[in-house]
Structure 1
Amino acid sequence: MSGLPPAARFAWLLVVLLFSVVVALAAFILKTRTGTRAADAALVAGSAFAGSVILSLGLIAAAIGV
């Protein structure tokens, strides 16, 4: 992503973060629906968020050819 202008890099980062928040929220909701405590569900949601960010940034970097 180093060849992109700063505005485009910021836009991609924003898209990745918002997508990851949606994934984390879905993981939290699904985990709490199974009867798990909120603290355990938050750990699952945090893991989903981190995994989603890493995977999304890796896919974008591979697609752009960095």
Structure 2
Amino acid sequence: MLLLAVIPGTAVAQTSHLLIIVGLAGDPEHVELFRKWAATLTDTAAERLGVPGFEAHHREVHA
């Protein structure tokens, strides 16, 4: 499960933030797959959408 949210920054800051939350994978194979998806989304946001790398984060949820 992936949750993708693009949150516009305030008018003062004029920045965008990207939060990618990776859900419970269930098994090691899916852990790696979800991790790769999140990294790809983070990289794409930085390259194509102009979200600086330090403003694009992904977090994994563990049980």
TM-score of the two chains, using structure 2 as the length reference: 0.45
Higher relative contact order (CA 8 A, sep 6+): 1
Q: Which has the higher strand share?
A: 2
Q: Report the TM-score, using the length of structure 1 for normalisation.
A: 0.43
Say which structure is richer in helix: 1
